[in-house]
Amino acid sequence: MHNTINLDKVNVHFEEKRILKNITFDVKPKNPTCIVGKGLSGKSTILKSIIGLTEVSSGDIKVNNISTTEKKKFNSVLNSMGMVFEKDALFDGMRVWENIMFKSLNYEKNNQLIKNAQKLLKNVGLPNGDAFLYPSELSGGMRKRVAIARAISHKPKFLLLDEPTAGLDPVKTNLIFKIITTLTNQLNITLLAVSSDVRGALNYFKQIVVVDEAEVHWKGTKREFLKKPTKLIKDLL
């Protein structure tokens, strides 16, 4: 299937420690997926493995049927991905519009870049005037939204997010989740997120993958998640 991520028995070792063990699941279009679990369970390592920041010891990861081991081919796949890290990674010395349109700064006129950035700001619920602010002038929730706008600026086929609501209150958390899932549905982007906020994820994601002690503990839909919760799932809730 087009715009799909497949993980098949993925293992990651660091020295003698196993970071991921036999991770297997698929991420498909129109089926936004969220990986949840306790801290240090291996959630974020899965994202890093998909984008090549962490080397896979065995098993395979394919994006659009191209394996991460096919380095040259996979570079083109990486260009089709948008990424939002736990720390938003905005450039404090640049205005918001420059952060959003960073990849295009040397290729288009500033007036057009500003207009494009303002359209993206509208998509994430921020006013045009915010384009001229610096990241230091933004709240935590606003910074997250700017990071999302930047991640979709090059019209990616995939959007990967690592703890996009970390440090936000419940109201802002729900707003971010709503923006992410609405945008990716409208733009036909395949969505994979990592979150420690299980309740928030249940409200907005169709597939939930529970990771515990480096393994997939459970995966399925929200209804299945709540129907027969394991002790770990009860603890997460």
Instruction: Select from 200, 222, 196, 218 the least CA-distant residue to 209.
Output: 218
Query: Max CA-CA distance within the chain?
Result: 56
Band the pLDDT of 40: cuts 50, 70, 90: confident
Task: Identify the bridge partners of residue 15 per DSSP, sorted by sequence position.
Answer: none
Residue 161 burial by CB count (10 A; 0-12/13-18/19+): exposed, middle or buried? buried
Count of other CB atoms within 10 angstroms of residue 123: 17
Between CA 208 and CA 218, with CA 213 as vertex, the angle to 5 degrees is: 30
pLDDT at res. 237: 80
pLDDT at res. 1: 65
pLDDT at res. 225: 85
Query: What gap in Å lies between CA 75 and CA 47, rounded to an integer?
Result: 16
Higher-confidence position of 109 and 119: 119
Cα 190–chain centre separation: 10
Q: Over range 191-213, report the average pLDDT.
A: 94
pTM over 0.75: yes
